[in-house]
């Protein structure tokens, strides 16, 4: 039988340790605010300030708690310090020389909103229709154990905000951030939306590894001639046969070909085109600068790296559904960005917990608390989040007792040294 009080204490202590690491260097009010937001999101499972405030269980009116959280959310300035600390923490749980980094865009649709700041027209990825809202670009690195997506970058932007340049510029800022913080040996996996010379130029200039699924209308140089990429792939019917497992656990028999090509915009760079047959009527075309002597192994690695992209799609779906990301109820774009940062850190905590606490009693008890009907899948985030919410909601207190008290300075004041009474600074 699980002792929920003891398990709740362990979760709060572990979350407080995580928060103290990522908030290192912040002022004490910001450090306190960050811990309260993470705790409120994980217990309330919503990004509503009212639900976060209720989860804190403070001995003041709920309105005062919400006002304080709203004020701090809009004025939070510690993003850079938090991300630096968080990235350093993530790096401890990946193999940086061989890690896979997945980059993709998403959206936050707000079709019923009218007065939120800088709303723009977007394509809602859930419905495929045009709506009002915001665009996002995010990146996640896969852990060395279990290949869990650990988010490492997030950015909410709008075409209507002041200073907006382009969506390509925002994506390049994301790639630049990854270049500054991760080794060029990490493999960047991207979808067809990144099949553009701007992104190829970024990777080739820096010597970074990449696997990009290219569009079927792209032209490449093959055997000294410029050809359509589909015509090149059509000359090869699959020299190697391999079996893959899709996200649903179903085995798919595939045939693959490894074709040397060059891009028309960068004819001096040798690349490899991997054509994968078996996932649809037409081949899946993957362009990469990975190098390997054995072509069969190269085909397998390139295809496997790209197929890991579904992990970030699961991450997007988890953050949107579990935390109801698209039900944001803050007005300013700055507050939306900071709320998205808090949601990313909450998901990061769940992901790091699944890696660091693997094969421990702590994680075993959390899995038991999740009360899954069927076996827990590889993507364990849903089970862990439900278990954390279930355990924390049974407690009578919030996270207040885990906030470290303010340490009084050991430096004596002049009044203490001479045992004088402070007159209050008045003059006669």
Listed residue (71, 15, 4, 3) closest to 401, CA to CA: 15
Give the model's pLDDT for residue 428: 41
CA distance 395 to 8: 7
Task: Determine contact, residues 11/385, Cβ cutoff 8 Å.
Answer: no
Structure-token pair, residue 138: 């995010």
DSSP annotation of 407: P
CA distance 318 to 182: 25
Close Cβ partners of 299 (under 8 Å, ≥ 6 residues apart): 240, 242, 256, 257, 258, 274, 276
Give the model's pLDDT for residue 241: 86
Close Cβ partners of 249 (under 8 Å, ≥ 6 residues apart): none
Give the model's pLDDT for residue 262: 96
Q: What is the DSSP string of 56-116?
A: H--SS-HHHHHHHHHHHHHH---HHHHHHHHHHHHHTTS-TTT-EEEEEEEEEE-TT-SSS
CA distance 306 to 301: 9
DSSP annotation of 195: -
Give the model's pLDDT for residue 408: 63
Give the model's pLDDT for residue 424: 52
Could you give the C-alpha distances from 357 to 97, 149, 234, 382, in angstroms and in order?
A: 23, 16, 48, 16
Mean pLDDT in each 10-residue stretch from start to end of the chain (428 residues)? 88 95 94 96 94 95 96 95 96 86 94 91 88 95 87 96 95 97 95 96 96 96 94 88 74 89 95 91 93 89 90 90 91 95 96 91 92 85 94 91 72 67 50
């Amino acid at each position: 039988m699980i002792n929920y009080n003891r398990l709740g204490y362990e979760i709060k202590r572990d979350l407080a340790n995580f928060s103290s690491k990522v908030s290192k260097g912040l002022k004490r009010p910001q450090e306190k605010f960050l811990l309260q937001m993470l705790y409120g999101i994980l217990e309330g499972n919503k990004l509503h300030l009212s639900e976060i405030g209720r989860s804190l269980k403070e001995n003041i009116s709920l309105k005062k708690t919400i006002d304080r959280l709203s004020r701090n959310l809009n004025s939070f300035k510690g993003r850079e310090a938090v991300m630096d600390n968080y990235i350093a923490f993530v790096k401890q749980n990946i193999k940086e020389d061989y890690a896979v980094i997945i980059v993709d865009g998403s959206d936050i649709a707000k079709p019923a909103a009218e007065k939120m700041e800088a709303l723009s027209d977007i394509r809602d990825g859930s419905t495929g229709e045009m709506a009002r809202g915001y665009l996002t670009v995010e990146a996640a690195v896969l852990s060395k154990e279990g290949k869990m997506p650990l988010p490492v970058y997030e950015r909410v932007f709008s075409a209507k905000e002041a200073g907006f340049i382009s969506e390509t510029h925002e994506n390049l800022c994301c790639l630049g951030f990854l270049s500054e913080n991760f080794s060029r040996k990490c493999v960047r996996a991207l979808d067809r939306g990144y099949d553009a010379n701007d992104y190829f130029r970024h990777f080739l200039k820096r010597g970074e590894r990449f696997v990009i699924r290219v569009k079927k209308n792209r032209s490449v140089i093959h055997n000294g001639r410029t050809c359509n990429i589909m015509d090149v792939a059509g000359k090869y019917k699959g020299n190697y046969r391999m079996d893959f497992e899709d996200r649903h656990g179903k085995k798919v028999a595939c045939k693959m070909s490894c074709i040397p090509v060059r891009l028309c915009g960068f004819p001096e760079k040798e690349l490899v085109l991997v054509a994968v047959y078996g996932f649809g009527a037409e081949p899946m075309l993957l362009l990469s600068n990975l190098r390997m002597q054995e072509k069969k192994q190269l085909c397998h690695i390139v295809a496997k790296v790209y197929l890991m992209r579904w992990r970030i799609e699961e991450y997007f779906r988890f953050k949107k559904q579990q935390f109801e990301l698209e039900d944001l109820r803050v007005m300013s774009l700055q507050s939306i960005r900071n709320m998205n940062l808090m949601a990313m850190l909450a998901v990061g905590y769940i992901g790091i917990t699944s890696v660091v606490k693997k094969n421990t009693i702590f994680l075993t008890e959390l899995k038991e608390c999740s009360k899954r009907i069927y076996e827990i899948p590889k993507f364990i985030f849903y089970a862990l989040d439900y278990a954390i919410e279930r355990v924390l909601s049974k407690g009578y207190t919030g996270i207040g007792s885990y906030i470290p008290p303010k340490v009084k300075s050991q430096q004596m004041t002049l009044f203490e040294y001479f045992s004088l009474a402070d007159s209050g600074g008045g003059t006669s």
